[in-house]
Amino acid sequence: MSSNVETGSGETIPARSGTRAWRATAGTGVVVLVLVTVHMVVHHFVVQEVGGLRTYRQVLAYVGHPLIVVLESTFLVVVTWHGLLGLRSVLFDLGLSEVGKRRASRALAALGVATVAYGLVLIAVLASRS
Amino acid sequence: MSDRDLDEIRAARRAPGPVQRKAPGATAWFDVRRRGSGHFAFSLNRLTGLGLLVYLYLHLVVLSTLLRGAEAWDSFLRRATTPAFLGLDVLLLFGLLAHGLNGLRVALIGSGVAPDRQKALLWAVVIVGAIALLGGALHIMGSS
Q: Are the beta carbons of B60 and A45 separated by less than 8 Å?
A: no
| CA nearest neighbour of B122 among B41, B48, B46 | B41
| Closest in B74, B116, B140 to A6, CB measured | B116
pLDDT score of B81: 85
Q: Are the beta carbons of B49 and A86 separated by less than 8 Å?
A: yes
pLDDT score of A18: 42
Inter-chain contacts counted by CB atoms under 8 A, chains A and B: 123
| CA nearest neighbour of A32 among B57, B94, B100, B107 | B100
Q: Where are the alpha helices (DSSP H) in A1-130?
A: 20-40, 56-63, 66-92, 98-129
Q: Are the beta carbons of B13 and A14 separated by less than 8 Å?
A: yes
Q: Which of B6-10, B17-21, B35-39, B71-75 has the lowest mean pLDDT?
A: B17-21
Q: Measured between alpha carbons, how far is B139 from A41 in angstroms, rounded to an integer?
A: 11
Mutate to test the interface with A, among B27, B77, B102 (most CBs of A within 10 A): B77
Three-state helix/strand/coil letters over B35-58? CCHHHHHHHHHHHHHHHHHHHHHH
Structural contact between residues A32 and A82, judged by C-beta atoms closer than 8 angstroms: yes
- Mean per-residue pLDDT of chain B: 82
Neighbours of A64 (CB within 10 A): 14
Q: Are the beta carbons of A26 and B100 separated by less than 8 Å?
A: no
Q: Which residue of A has its CA nearest to B114?
A: A5
Query: pLDDT band at A45, cuts 50/70/90?
Result: confident
Taking each helix axis from N to C end, the angle separating A98-129 and A56-63, rounded to the nearest 10 degrees, works out to 100
Q: Are the beta carbons of A84 and B19 separated by less than 8 Å?
A: no
pLDDT score of A49: 64
Q: What is the ipTM of this complex?
A: 0.81
Q: Measured between alpha carbons, how far is A41 from B133 in angstroms, rounded to an integer?
A: 14
pLDDT of B74 above 80: yes
Strands A12-14 and A4-6: antiparallel
